[in-house]
Chains A and B, each alone.
Chain A
Amino acid sequence: MAERYELKQKEVWDGNMAAAHALRQAQVDVVAAYPITPSTPIVQNYAQFLADGYVDGEFIMVESEHSAMSACVGAAAAGGRVATATSSQGYALMVEVLYQASGMRLPIVMTVVNRALASPLNIHGDHSDLYLGRDAGWIHIIANNPQEAYDLTLCAFRIGEDERVRLPVTTNQDGFLVSHTAQVVEPLQDEEAYKFIGEYKALNPMLDTKNPVTYGAQTEEEWHFEHKANQHKALMESFPVIEEVFNEFEKVSGRKYNVVETYKLDDADIALVLMGSAYETAMLAVDKAREEGIKVGLLMPRVFRPFPYNEVAEKLKNVKAIAALDRSAPMGTTGALYNEVAGALAAKGQSAIMTNYIYGLGGRDTTVEHILEVIRETEKNAKAGKRVTDLQGFINLRGPKLSFN
């Protein structure tokens, strides 16, 4: 039996330590990982917990991230609770196996620390890796600070392992801005946390010798479509479970999470849509803008996949202008968040003046002033009743103004 880790009511943790403690409290059976900046401390801390006797489980050292996720798939198919952590290039190397994990319906939890993708090489935070794994069939949950990284990693186990879902889940936090920024975190005690997550229930475990099964079937044109549709349905219908888990979590922690988070959106004329640590910066900007008399609010999909398009549209139905801020190089079109929000509005027959901003690539600073600038431009659009600013702008980019229409 694992040792109990004594936790104070308030701990000072960075995002990595918070995620590592969540993995420890979940009593994961197998962690197979290949550490990569900036998520290295998650794996490092976890290995330390294991060596010190705080975890009953296996830590598998592997030769690459592709092997890490492959080992996770194997261990999850064998019937264990499985988790790993990665970032950026490691995530990119895992991508092939991410699709395998979701297709085999293995509820692996991956704590992702978002980082830019090379080239040029960059170790700092942006959402390139999150966007890369967007269509992999995983549930992607976004955390904006260490507390959320801890809370949502606990929730991730329960969501993914629910028998109505049975899908792998990532929890995302911004590299360095969250992962290496120590803040006060109020953790649950070990028993409480484990009680919340619950015992792992294996489904079709390979180690059940009485009921041997084969994982990794091949399905050609006669079957593949049906399997993928079935998998998509599980993802689309995971919202009630996610909400249920968030509600349960509120009961044990007092902290409430929503599928779509908003800030001062109720009476807002204009809205900013963004995710990650910049959401908190934007909160400060919103407060300042409101002092200037601009009625602005924020919206963030807490869950990026499945994308809560109905709820997003519902929450944005009264705003006149929207700016969607993407922290990933859009490479040839408008940003993904812009596309999702535009699609969500179009599906409901709603319309708002929409603009797209690219910000914070490779860890570039995005300050309250920068967000205020976006708010002012969006306000211009709302006042004019049509788009008078550029469709796609770049925040805090050095050089002559770059924009697209």
Chain B
Amino acid sequence: MATPKEMLTTWDKVQFGAVLPAFEDPEHKKRSKFHSYNYSVADWRVEKPVFNRELCIDCDFCWVSCPDSCFIVEEVVNKRGKKQAKIVGINYNLCKGCAVCVEVCPTPIKSLLMFPEYVDNDEALKQWPTKDNK
């Protein structure tokens, strides 16, 4: 992917030591132009992870492991009245399809599985392995 012309800085303005700054708040943090947040990698994807809410235990492993902060999280109150992060989906505009989330998912039947890009998510959920067939 070619970098857009307006993002090409000159030798005297490049990041010192090629060190990339990070973000504090994913929504409001000021990031450099060439930070991965501003630099879409979604078109690298040939397979996509599909998220199965039914099986998810909200361990947040996928959220913490995702290199592109793809997981959409909602704040909910659990049974004991405590605040909890609930994984609700994947932002496919950020996901490059690296499958790290699938690797780290700890549920007996994975709550995240890779499917070809062209498979519809509802269709993918129908094809999900069951206990007898995992």
Binding site for B on A (CB under 8 A): 103-106, 166, 203-204, 210-217, 219, 222-223, 225-227, 229-230, 233
Contacts and interface: CB of A to CB of B under 8 A. Distances in A.
A356 to B, nearest CB: 35
Given A222-B2, A226-B9, A226-B11, A204 B16 contact: yes
A233 B11 CA distance: 10
Contacts of B8: 222
B17 interface: yes
A213 B21 CA distance: 5
A204 B22 contact: no
Interface residues on B, range: 10 to 19
B20 interface: yes
Contact of B14 (A104, A204, A214, A227): A227
B25 interface: no
B12 interface: yes
Contacts of A204: 16-17, 19
B14 A223 contact: yes
3 cross-chain pairs, A with B, having the tightest CB-CB distances, nearest first: A105-B17, A212-B22, A226-B11
Contacts, number: 56
B22 A104 contact: no
A60 to B, nearest CB: 22
A217 B20 contact: yes
A298 to B, nearest CB: 38
Given A222-B2, A222-B3, A214 B20 contact: yes
Given A217-B18, A226-B11, A230-B12, 4 more contacts: A211-B21, A214-B20, A222-B8, A230-B16
B19 A104 contact: yes
Contacts of A229: 11
A223 B17 CA distance: 12
B14 A217 contact: no
